[in-house]
Amino acid sequence: MVEIKEVSTRKQRKQFVEFPLRLYKDNEWFVPPLYGDEMNVFKPNYVYYEQAEAVYYLAYRDGEVVGRISGILQRAANAKWNQKQVRFTRFDSIDDNEVASALLNAVEEWGRQKGMEEIVGPLGFSDMEREGLLIEGFDQLCTFEEQYNYPYYQQLIENCGYGKDVDWLEHQLRAPKEGFDPKYRKISELMLKKYRLSFGEARSTRQFINKYADDIFKIWDETYDQIYGTVPVTENLKKSLVAQFKLLINKKYIRVLFDESGKVVAFGLLFPNISDAVRPSGGRLTLPCLIRLLRSIRHPKVLDLGVIGVADEYKNHGLSAAMLVSLGDALQGDVEHAETNLNLEYNIPIQNAWKYFDAIQNKRRRCFIKRLVPPTTATTAAENE
């Protein structure tokens, strides 16, 4: 028999965070999030709780934890998209239909009691969290920004009545062996000259963040405003993201375009891949982990494509050509390749952009959806059985 308990004690919080570390202990493709970041979600002042509320559940069998899940009521997203959705995230389970069903049912019921009409997931508080269920690419090392899961997860979720809502694709990018097509590079140069734009540099990561963070977040909001699952970026969330960027950014892999007045009009962020740095410690920032992190950030073998943004007034002006050529130039020297992270399957412009690289689609992720039966209907149905 499976018993579901809401996380409320210190012991349960630790069990919630550590369950996937046990489940994937010997898996060579799994990459844990930072342990401290995961524990932070239980703090009352967690940055996303000004926009949302959440619940956390553990599944037990014979006193042993066999699964976990979190439910999120993202009020800002529901208001923005005119929806009544509850999200599920941090879903991990042994290969057992009873366990998966009990976990998902717990979040479904929580959502019903909140007046929600649909449940979607895996989807975090925002698109800047880990999202989507891996359904292709199980033999690929996960990036630090995304979550690995076993192949059986898909069947467990579908067995509970969930269907596809949207897919994301991920690619490996390598600079063309013969270099970028000279015509493409020429287009880039012409666009920069026509609009009198130039790439800027910063003396240090700190200077970059202090000087350009506000402009970048403004463009970020403009670029991704209508992207699936996005929510407005609050001031507190900006501060939280800046704190994370300070840990991961290497200014060598930052691209910023300026106009004549020095205003930021486009940017691209590549993050050194730290997957191998955090895996041995289970995401805990031990001294050996910190040493590995510094090494990975200073001398990365792989880069993770974080964010590319273009100001609204420069949309459809060909700036993507300049950004892509510049980002491609970063894939030189000791860098082996870049990982794109998530691109919506229907985002044709971004899919077409990768044709300028030696690109391989190596992963696919899915967000699922299910209609929720109202509480009164569910109760009546149960009584009539």
Q: Sorting pLDDT into bands at 50, 70 and 90, what band is 65?
A: very high
- The CATH homologous superfamily for domain 173-365 is Gcn5-related N-acetyltransferase (GNAT) (3.40.630.30)
Residue 310 and residue 219 in contact, taking contact as beta carbons nearer than 8 Å: yes
Per-residue pLDDT tens for 218-274? 888 888 877 888 888 888 888 888 877 777 788 788 888 888 888 888 888 888 999
Distance CA 185, CA 324 (A): 9
pLDDT at 325 over 90: no
Q: Among 228, 238, 253, 206, which Cα is nearest to 74's?
A: 228
Residue ranges, CATH 3.40.630.30, the chain: 3-167+367-384, 173-365
Q: What is the pTM of this model?
A: 0.89
Distance CA 31, CA 252 (A): 25
Q: Sorting pLDDT into bands at 50, 70 and 90, what band is 122?
A: very high
Q: Among 249, 259, 241, 248, which Cα is nearest to 200's?
A: 259
Amino acid at site 246:
K
Q: By three-state DSSP, how is residue 71 classified?
A: strand
Per-residue pLDDT tens for 76-108? 999 999 999 999 999 999 999 999 999 999 999
Determine the pLDDT at residue 382: 44
Say if domain 3-167+367-384 classifies as CATH 3.40.630.30: yes
DSSP string, 238-253: HHHHHHHHHHH--GGG
Determine the pLDDT at residue 202: 66
Q: Among 35, 212, 233, which Cα is nearest to 128's?
A: 233
Residue 194 exposed, middle or buried by CB count within 10 Å (0-12, 13-18, 19+): exposed
Q: Sorting pLDDT into bands at 50, 70 and 90, what band is 375?
A: low
Residue 94 and residue 23 in contact, taking contact as beta carbons nearer than 8 Å: yes
Determine the pLDDT at residue 385: 46
Phi, psi of 222 (to 5 degrees): -65, -45
